Chain A
């Protein structure tokens, strides 16, 4: 349950376009999947999360989808803006009640 794969490692999009980051996990007991945004020189900040009893969750321009059967979840950012540029981490909560993180995606939004 401590293996979260995250793709891509880097992503560049034009301002206004959409960005999608995908993560896969292996522990079928995992039931909580948060996404964090880390700006330069700062700690990670929770931006959205989803629990295993829900397939999709939206918060303005950000959405997360979960496919429990395939064991993958994705972050979708629409109408990207330069301030969305950051490193994004997915994570899963295992049965041990700890969060294990993916390796991160560096998103660059080109004005």
Chain B
């Protein structure tokens, strides 16, 4: 157990739908990062939050959004889902605003049918 909790582990939904992925960072970590991993692909950075505020954006689609709540958990919202959005979505956390010591959760596998 890495200390980073992601729910749900698996999610199957239809095209056009909206889903919410949840991440609870490791205790004491203020930063949360979201990554997308498509089949046989690397890890694509989506977005970072630090202590409730958006810190950086990567290749995140406009149909996707995220937020970090006062208790530091984060949610990634994916809307108007397309088949190509099927992927593993990982959340990672770190202590401060830097990326030293990233700890990843076990991911949410999203399947869009």
Q: Interface of A with B (CB < 8 Å)?
A: 6, 32, 34, 36, 41-46, 49, 89, 93, 96-104
Q: Interface of B with A (CB < 8 Å)?
A: 2, 4, 33, 35, 41-43, 45, 48, 55-56, 58, 90, 92, 97-107
Inter-chain contact count A-B, CB under 8 Å? 55
A34 neighbours in B (Cβ, 8 Å):
102
Label chain B's interface by main secondary structure: loop
A102 neighbours in B (Cβ, 8 Å):
42
Q: Kindly identify which residue among A41, A46, A89, A97 contacts B43, using a CB–CB cutoff of 8 Å.
A: A89
Chain B residue nearest to A4 (CB atoms) is: B42
Q: Is the CB of B42 within 8 A of A42?
A: no
A59 to B68, CA, bound (A): 35
Q: Is the CB of A97 within 8 A of B101?
A: no
